[in-house]
Structure formats: C-alpha cells, structure tokens
Chain A
Amino acid sequence: MGRDLDQRAARFDEYVATQGTRLLRSATLLVGGADAPDVVQDALVGLYKRWDRVVAAHNPDAYVHRSLVNAALQLRRRRRRVVIPITDMTAGGGHAEMVGSRQDMARALGALPPRQRTVLVLAFYEDRSEAEIAREMGCSTGTVKSQKSKALATLRKAIQNEDAKAGMR
C-alpha cells in the first residue's frame, strides 16, 4: 500500500516536472497570465487522488487537459476580460509590425467570451480536432463549429478595426 503510494507520488511528480510548463502555457491562453498558475494547480491537485486512473487512461494528457479546461472555464466565468501576455520576440526573427499585430490579436483574444476563446486555443494552439474539442468541453461538434466561427469573425473585425486605426495615424 505504502509502496503504491510512493509510486503514484513519483509518477505524479515526474508528470508535473515534464508537462508543467506546457500546462501553464495553455492555462495562460485560456485564463490569462494572472490566474494561470492557480488553474493549473487546481486541476492537478484535483487529479492527484485519482492519479492511478489518469495514468491508466488511454491518453493521460487528454485527461489532464480536460480537467484544465474545466477548471479554466469555471474560473473564467468570473472574469469578463483576461490579459494574455505575449513575448516581444518574434519566432524566426520578425519585425515590429508583426509584434504589433500579435499584441492586437492577444487583446482581441482576451476580450472573447470564455468558451469562444477556449475553442480557438484548443484548435489553433493544441491542434485538437473539432471532435476532440467537443469532448474536452463537453458539447457537440456543432457547437464547437459555431463558437469557432463566431470567434474568428470577432477577431477579424477587431483586427480590421485596429488596422483602420493604424491607417488613420
């Protein structure tokens, strides 16, 4: 019994050490930088007591991520707008205009309704299929499609507005 607990603790610690940063990134996109650590911790603490089941699952990462999304959605119902911090460094070397566009996009993302933002993060950051997103969010694929469509439309409008403002300067 004690040995089982030790093994479970060791496996849990290993998962946190290797996957913690990735989870933290996802959480930052989902709820913003301020609340991300709490959301990740809440999800992992909640999962620890059934960690054996998590490990035994066909896809443990999906299990954990589902908990993370749930925790994020619960938290995000309390906040209307989140701040998603993005780095000023551009991957592969970019330019100032690109950085400005990302800042605009990050602001627009942060202003999206929680479920729409979650759909976009899962689709474009986690590369989940619509069926997988539907499973993680506990909704139908039809809902995922409509949320994604609305979210992209909102982002497009926001970016166009920003571009128009920039053109007037």
Chain B
Amino acid sequence: MSHDLESLLRSTLGAVDEKPHQLSGADLRRRARRQHALARMGLTITAAAVIAATTVTILNRPDHTNIATPPSTSDRPSVGPSSSNTADPGGFVNIQASDSYQFDTLPEMVATSALVVEAEVLSQSRGDVEGGGSIDRLATMHVIEVFKGTPPQSLTVVEPGWDASGRQIVMGGLPPLSSNARVLLFLIPSSRPGARDVYLRVSSAGEFILNGEESITTGQSIDPAVQPLKKLSPAALRNAVRAARAEADAGGVKPRKPLDFVTEDHATASGSPD
C-alpha cells in the first residue's frame, strides 16, 4: 500500500501541467532594476525623513544651544499691550510683543539705556536668571567700546530662551545673539531678582549687527529713532551714537518711561463685559 501510494504520488507529481508561461530573462532583469531603484528611493526618503525628524527634535530640545533662524523682520509688532505668538515649524516661536519703550530719537534711546556698548559675543549658555524654572539664553560679551555706562567685568546679555514646549522664543523679531557676532547694544539691567551683571536690550530697536560695511537692525521696531540709522556704516553709526550721547548729556533729553501696559490691561480687564 505504501509503495503504491508513493508510486501514485510520483506519477501525479510527474504529470504536473504547468501553466504555459514564457519567462524572459530581460524582463526579469528590468524588474530587478526597477525594484532596486525603488528600494534606493525608499531609503533616500526614509533617510531624509529621519534627518528632518532628528533636526526638529534637536531644535525643540530645551538644552539646544544652536541658534535657530529668526523669523522674517517683515512682520511688525503691534502697538499696544497685546502680543501674539507665531509658532514656526523650524522650532522657534516668535512673540510679537510691544516694546516697553518706544523712541522718537536716538538721544532718547541713549538716555534711556543704562549701557550702550559695542561688543562681541564670546559664548552662549543657558540658565535660569529669574529663578522661576524658566530657561533663558545667556550671551557672554566681550566689550570693545563703551558709549555709555560702565559695563561689568563680565557682561551677560539675557534673551528669552525656550517655551514650555521646548521651542526657542524669539521676541519682537530679534534674533538670538550668535557666537562671534559683533553688535552695538542698547542695554538696561535686568530687574529680575538675583540677576547680577545681567542686561537685556532696551527694546527690539536695541541691537545693531555690525556686519562689514553696514549696520543691520534686526528687530521689528518701527520706532522713528531707528529708521535713519538703518544701513549706516558701522563707523557712521558709532559717530551717530556718540553724538546722541553728547546731546543727551547736554541736557534736555529725558529717558523715556516704560509704557504702562499693566494699567491698560487692568483697565480693560475690569471694564464692562460688553
């Protein structure tokens, strides 16, 4: 019986009637090449996706010290106490807040600033200046020239750091200070408790990047004081600041008072619900 079964099996297998099909080596080779190309494309797409995901992850990390590209300066801050946040897919959030100070003239800006210096960014770090758990970006500066005030031995400029989601905060379009950048800064001391020798820009008009032949305003300020200074050569800008300092010292130019947003906010909040 066993022998018969195996004989029948062999006989059946030998009688297989394969479907007529002409296999072509050339067709198979073409298919192999196509598969190979698709696999390579898939790998490329996967690699690009991994790189993009990694980049976004790194940019979103709170301890990321690389500086993201700031948003376009074409967006101007609104006037008044309101502010709006624009999250950018690149990993930063632009806070279009109104400046505490608005300046009509350069002497006003100099008079209001505690410190006006030309400096170079030595290094960057992160820290909690306020002590409230927020993460700030700290730039240690090498002072090259002092136009006003007495800078501390080690000058630190504090900038907004990262929000709760880990995105870098850009305030008023001002880009984070980048390493080795040469800048002219209008500074006021940080009023945060525990902040020592730490300064911040007086407003979004308080920074000029001295880039070769021209001075570049990077903030979104539309202050009248800033407009004539745009595109001045660094030397011309320095002269303008010196002259403004002289004018402020000569008297007649008072420091500006910060805009009282708190009062306006309070008034709005306590007003009629309608």
Contacts and interface: CB of A to CB of B under 8 A. Distances in A.
A37 B1 CA distance: 35
A53 to B, nearest CB: 14
A144 B136 CA distance: 69
Contact of B29 (A36, A37, A48): A48
A23 B22 CA distance: 12
Contacts, number: 111
A28 B18 contact: yes
Interface in A134-159: 152, 155-156, 159
Contacts of A90: 15
Contacts of A37: 19, 21, 23
B23 A86 contact: no
Nearest to B36: A49
Nearest to A48: B32
Contacts of A13: 25-26, 29
Nearest to A22: B18
B13 A121 contact: yes
Given A16-B24, A33-B18, A155 B13 contact: no
Interface residues of A, number: 47
Query: Chain B interface mostly helix, strand, loop or mixed?
Result: helix
Given A37-B21, A85-B19, A125 B13 contact: yes
Contacts of B15: 86-87, 89-91, 102
A109 B8 CA distance: 12
B35 interface: yes
Interface in A1-39: 9, 12-17, 20-21, 23-25, 27-29, 33-34, 36-37
Contacts of A9: 25, 29
Contact of B25 (A12, A89, A105, A106): A12
B28 interface: yes
A44 interface: yes
Contacts of B274: none
B138 to A, nearest CB: 55
Nearest to A47: B32
A125 B9 CA distance: 9
B18 A12 contact: no
Query: Chain A interface mostly helix, strand, loop or mixed?
Result: helix
A101 interface: yes
A24 B5 contact: no
Interface string A63-100: 00000000000000000000011110111000000100
Interface of B: 1-2, 5-6, 8-19, 21, 23-26, 28-29, 31-32, 35-36
Given A12-B25, A29-B16, 7 more contacts: A12-B28, A13-B26, A28-B19, A37-B23, A86-B12, A101-B12, A120-B9
25 contacts: A9-B29, A13-B29, A16-B24, A24-B19, A24-B23, A25-B18, A27-B18, A33-B17, A34-B19, A36-B18, A36-B21, A45-B28, A45-B35, A49-B32, A49-B36, A86-B16, A86-B17, A87-B17, A89-B15, A90-B15, A102-B8, A105-B12, A109-B9, A120-B9, A152-B6
